[in-house]
Amino acid sequence: MAALAARLGSRRGGWLVGATLIGGSVTSVRALSTPATSRKVIMTREDPRLGQPTLMIGPERPDSLVVVLHGLGDSARGWESLADMLAPRFPSTRFILPTAPSQPVTLNGGYVMPSWYDLIGLERRDAETCEGIDDSRAAVLDLLDEQYAEEGSKLSPNVTVLAGFSQGGAVALWTGLQGDHNPLAGVVCMSGYLPQPQAFTPGPAALATPVLLLHGEADPVVRFEFALQTEAALKSHKFDVRMESYPELEHSANLEEIEDVSTFLRAVLPPQ
């Protein structure tokens, strides 16, 4: 049990190189956590920029919102267990997990899989064109606006956290820290990186958004050096950035990391 708690992860979602799947997602948290008692809904959304399903976990009238974006090749289901673990701790929070659209990925020889944008390689993240990332950004912002516009909604950017793993973490940074929207309550990037750092233009209000970066130092897919580069780039723009690293963690998540996410949420969301 100690070994299981030390490293949770699967090889269900991620990069496909040759015939080897080398990504990761959290799939084992449910067995070690209190089952969620909140309402769970599969949302049907006619938006070609998103895949299926979009999961919604939490109360009908939430006071805060957390959106979790999965990594390459995964889906909302890959991070459902994370929301199930956190929902009982945050009973006034709605968790939404969308799924990326399925599209060819250059890195994987044109293989079609859920992907927030196209990836060319693993070596130079600053050289990636990230074709399609702005469509994904627009889709996520529209999803947020729908939540804010819901009848009787108490939701707004300042009670919203945008989180993501790997490619989803890149989209969280690209979406949550640019534009002219009001600052979010926070942005969380797990095992991810800042895409297109030369083109990244933080919105003036976004500079008030706290950022949590979490990364395994043994990650062979999104190397730890990319997390350090992301931290440096964001700090150069004067963002409030906190970095947590995990010495033996590869491209996945563990319980220590999830506890760090929980601590961050408790600090930036309204009391529950």
| Residues with catalytic function | 166, 219, 251
Question: Around Cβ 43, how many Cβ atoms within 10 Å?
Answer: 16
Look-up of token digits 């469509």: 135
Dihedral, CA of residue 58, residue 61, residue 66 and residue 69, to nearest 10: 70
HSE-up (13 A, CA, CB side) for residue 147: 30
Three-class SS of residue 184? coil
Give the C-alpha separation, 59 to 56, whole Å.
9
Alpha-carbon separation of residue 148 from 46, 108, 111, 223 (angstroms): 18, 37, 36, 36
